[in-house]
Amino acid sequence: MEFKKYHRRYPDTKWDYKAISTRVDGKEIIYYTLLDRGKKSQGIEIFQGSNYDPKSSARSYSRNYKLGNVPSKYSKIVSALKSKHRTTSWSKSKYVDYN
């Protein structure tokens, strides 16, 4: 399974987004953590279709899930993404915009 890393930090707005994604069956599945003005959140985003992948002919859609509500067919993928997220080294720079 290949992983892609996203990291955006904007200290002026107290916003820090860290995400790890992978593609499975034409869908991009993302596990993210977000620190927004001191509030922490985490979840799963699933994207599919030509809006997100120009090579795709599938119907476009996106879904956001809290960790407790992720469909069971994605549970192993989510576990792998969470594990990769924990072991990834994130930039300590003040401003980050990486993907």
Radius of gyration of the chain (CA): 14
Q: What is the pTM of this model?
A: 0.87
Nearest in space to 63 (alpha carbons), one of 41, 81, 46: 46
Nearest in space to 34 (alpha carbons), one of 73, 4, 64: 64
pLDDT tens, position by position, 8-44: 998 888 889 999 999 998 889 999 999 998 899 999 9
Structural domain spans, the chain: 4-88
Q: pLDDT-based confidence at 70, cuts 50/70/90? A: very high
Looking at residue 52, its pLDDT comes to 76
Whose tokens are 């956001």? That residue is 64
The CA-CA-CA angle for residues 55, 57, 62, to 5°, reads 95
| Distant-in-sequence, close-in-space partners of 20: CB < 8 Å, separation ≥ 6 | 3, 4, 5, 6, 30, 31, 32, 81, 84, 85, 88
pLDDT tens, position by position, 34-66: 999 889 999 999 998 888 777 788 888 899 999
Distance CA 15, CA 35 (A): 6
